[in-house]
Amino acid sequence: MTTSSFPTIQKPDIKEMKVAPNLDYDKVRGNFDWNEMYGELDWLPGGGLNMAYEAIDRHANGRNRDKLAMIWEGKNGEKEQYTFGQMKQLSDRFANVLKSIGIEKGDRVFVFMDRVPELYITIFGILKAGAIAGPLFSAFGPEPVKDRLQDSGAKVLVTQPDLRRKITEIIPELFELQHIIVVNKDNRDPEPILSSDLSYEEEMAKAPPNFDIVETSQYDYSIMHYTSGTTGKPKGAVHRHQAVVQQYATGKWALDLHEDDIYWCTADPGWVTGTSYGMLAPWTNGVTQLIYEGGFRASKWYELIQDYKVTVWYTAPTAIRMLMKAGENIPRRYDMSSLRFLASVGEPLNPEAVVWGQEVFGMPFHDNWWQTETGAILCANYACMDVRPGSMGKPIPGVELGIVDDDFNPVPVGEDGNLAVRPGWPSMYHTYWNNTEMYNSKFKKGWYMTGDNARVDKDGYFWFVGRADDVINTAGHLVGPFEVESALIEHPAVAEAGVIGKPDPIAMEIVKAFVSLKDGYEATDELRRDITRFSREKLSSAVAPREIEFIDSLPKTRSGKIMRRLLKARELGLPEGDTSTLEED
């Protein structure tokens, strides 16, 4: 998708807007200095910087102490509310829990939980203790959890009884794990926790309610998220406390957050959008946010917007396409008049979806672009700017984006190339855990290479073109083919596996696997079902292949690498391109 035949959506007159946009793009972009933005943060009394302090304590210590920070609705309709003051006290307690079991600055503490309030409190507690928080997507199966806990050397895992049971088999292989803390929210789970585990509720009750935040500097590590690349297992992108300045700034600029907003981000904190924009951006801006534990259901989502009077809504293209599929009649049954700004991230947002927003809600979805490694939004459609449907907007103030060729030289305006960023933006990741070599390989000729292809038009709007590598984007989740192939070949019948992304009208891509069988196995539907079940149990249904095709042998290079590009071309009936490196049969 490079340009769009859809007409530009003009920004409304400021006088017609419910609030004036925070950002005047042309004015700010020209001579912006990040130091000004750093000046809007409070900093620790000792001069350091801590994300939890900026998001929670600075509000709890001031006039927002009794303001609602979190409005929570559980998957069974339970309702809870927390003020900034309560969030401070609870996260202080959890920091004390960590201190009491010997957690120190820089230790990794991982969180494997559904979107319950304790998840958010735990992450802020970890940050206050100076440790590094590693959130894990709760739909993961044992294999991805094991890979991440082993690679990071996590000392503590905070989880829930059902998720704890799901991963029991991998625990003996986690040599550095010292404690498992189990949150049994509202005694939802009737089974007693294992005697070797700690009870979150008991530890919290014992812990003092006040905690002196461990002095962290802006350069200390804060949060790590695992993300998929072309080769090898997912890598832990490590962020620093200073990312908070950009999360705060883009909350103001790209999501246009104002003090009185009720904000809803539908992302899970297992992925970077759920921490950067489901925790840090709204709360550093002192905004009340809705957190919904349940999954997607069109009518429920509209009901939430109506009941909680959501004003700013940040969601993802797959969800928008599912809402579109459910039809316009459903939103008409609800009062959507509280909404004033819609945004989307994670995959290309088709122009039809942008325009659909305008038709159904009276405003377009504002697409923005970023990735795990960038820590915060880098390119966006702003409230103050005309929207070109299909474009991901313009770079945020203080960030330079470029389109470069394969020798890392800029390409002319309007031509496709690699999307690159000039290093040094505040929320830039600082390393891949245990993999400096891979980190270094991302930087070329003064650019950080994003792995995406894009183009820029003469007016400076950026247009996403596609991934430059084999990484699959399914419903906004990046999946590395290698991770799926590794799980598949553990099945006793599988000799080899090659995994590609197959285009899909809703999820953008689905994971498709080509599998060759070992001698003695027959390609039956029953075996296909068994391999599907096996891969779902190991990986999770979000990552496991949706389609499996049996194939006699996989196309490989002479050096033995699976040619996924060829599998994909054959699947889509496209030209096979250069096959000179293809191994002879």
| Shortest reach from residue 237's CB to ligand AMP, in Å | 8
Which residue of 347, 470, 485, 509 would you call a contact of ligand AMP, by CB under 6 A?
A: 347
Torsions phi, psi for 418 (to 5 deg): -85, 135
Distance separating the N- and C-terminal Cα atoms of the chain: 37
Figure out which of the listed residues 117, 251, 348, 398 binds ligand AMP, where binding follows CB under 6 A.
348
Shortest Cβ distance from residue 42 to ligand AMP (Å)? Answer: 28
For residue 400, the minimal CB distance to ligand AMP (Å) is 17
Kindly state the DSSP code that residue 388 receives in the 8-state scheme. -
The answer to the question of residue 428 lying near ligand AMP (CB under 6 A) is no
Region near ligand AMP per CB under 6 A, out of 46-54, 176-184, 275-283, 362-370: 362-370
Q: Output 48 or 390, the one with its CB closest to ligand AMP.
A: 390
Nearest residue to 479 (alpha-carbon basis) of 540, 531, 435, 556: 540
Structure tokens given for 14: 């400021």
For residue 111, the cross-strand partners are 135, 158
Residues 363-382 within binding reach of ligand AMP (CB under 6 A): 367-369, 371-372
> Does residue number 227 form part of the binding site for ligand AMP (CB under 6 A)?
yes
User: In the block, which residue shows the tokens 């191994």?
Assistant: 583
Query: Contact between 478 and ligand AMP (CB under 6 A)?
Result: yes
Other Cβ atoms closer than 10 A to 390: 23
Is 392 one of the binding residues for ligand AMP (CB under 6 A)? Answer: yes
Contacts of 19 (CB under 8 A, 6+ apart): 256, 258, 340
Residue range at the interface with ligand AMP (CB under 6 A); choices 8-16, 67-75, 198-206, 361-369: 361-369
What is the dihedral sign for C-alpha 188, 190, 195, 196? negative
Give how far Cα 576 sits from Cα of 194, 361, 563, Å: 55, 44, 11
Smallest distance from ligand AMP to CB 555, Å: 25
Taking the least distance from each CB to ligand AMP, the nearer of 159 and 368 is 368
Contact 452, 293 (CB under 8 A): no
Among 315, 418, 427, 473, binds ligand AMP (CB under 6 A): 473
| 226 counts as binding ligand AMP under rule CB under 6 A | no
In the bound state with ligand AMP, the residue whose beta carbon lies nearer, of 159 and 227, is 227
Residue type, 506: I
Residue with tokens 């804060």: 222
Please say whether the beta carbons of 318 and 347 come within 8 A: yes
109, 167, 224, 272: residue in contact with ligand AMP (rule CB under 6 A): 272
Which residues, in sequence order, are CB contacts of 462 under 8 Å at separation 6+? 369, 379, 391, 392, 393, 394, 395, 401, 419, 454, 455, 456
Is 315 one of the binding residues for ligand AMP (CB under 6 A)?
no
Distance, in Å, from the CA atom of 275 to the CA atom of 110, rounded to the nearest integer, reads 13
In the complex, least distance from residue 416 CB atom to ligand AMP, rounded to whole angstroms: 14
Residue closer to ligand AMP (CB basis): 94 or 365: 365
Residue 251 or 346 having the CB closest to ligand AMP:
346
- Tokens, residue 141: 């199966």
Could you say whether residue 346 binds ligand AMP (CB under 6 A)?
yes
Give the strand pairing for 198-199 and 221-227.
unpaired
The span of 149-157, 330-338, 342-350, 441-449 binding ligand AMP (CB under 6 A) equals 342-350
Residue carrying the six token digits 């029953």: 526
Q: Which residues pair with 463 in a beta bridge?
A: 455
Least spacing, CB of residue 372 vs ligand AMP, in Å: 3
Is 453 a binding residue for ligand AMP by CB under 6 A? The answer is: no
Q: Could you tell me if 81 and 68 are in contact, meaning their C-beta atoms sit under 8 angstroms apart? A: yes
Query: Does residue 482 interact with ligand AMP by CB under 6 A?
Result: no
Give CA torsion, residues 113, 479, 432, 148, to 10 deg: 40
Q: Does 452 bind ligand AMP (CB under 6 A)?
A: yes
Task: Identify residues 76-135 at the interface with ligand AMP (CB under 6 A).
Answer: none
Instruction: Considering only the stretches 17-25, 259-267, 305-313, 339-347, report the one whose residues sit in contact with ligand AMP under the rule CB under 6 A.
Output: 339-347
Q: How many residues sit in the footprint of ligand AMP (CB under 6 A)?
A: 20
Least distance to ligand AMP, CB of residue 173, Å? 26
Shortest distance in whole angstroms from residue 368 CB to ligand AMP: 6
Instruction: By CB under 6 A, tell whether 485 contacts ligand AMP.
Output: no
* Token reading at 9: 């959506």
Nearer to ligand AMP, 44 or 380 (CB): 380
Closer CB to ligand AMP, residue 464 or residue 534?
464
Q: How far is the CB of 30 from ligand AMP (least distance, A)?
A: 24
Which listed range, 23-31, 94-102, 239-247, 343-351, lies at the site for ligand AMP (CB under 6 A)?
Answer: 343-351
Cβ nearer to ligand AMP, comparing 143 with 452: 452
For 367, the token pair is: 């697409």
Q: Which residues are CB-contacts of 172 (< 8 A; sequence separation ≥ 6)?
A: none
Specify the length of the chain in residues: 585
Phi, psi of 541 (to 5 degrees): -70, -15
142-152 vs 481-488: helix crossing angle, rounded to 10? 120
Rule CB under 6 A: is residue 450 a binding residue for ligand AMP? yes
Q: Cα separation of 233 and 478, whole Å?
A: 12
Residues that bind ligand AMP (CB under 6 A): 227, 271-272, 345-348, 367-369, 371-372, 392, 450-452, 464, 467, 473, 478
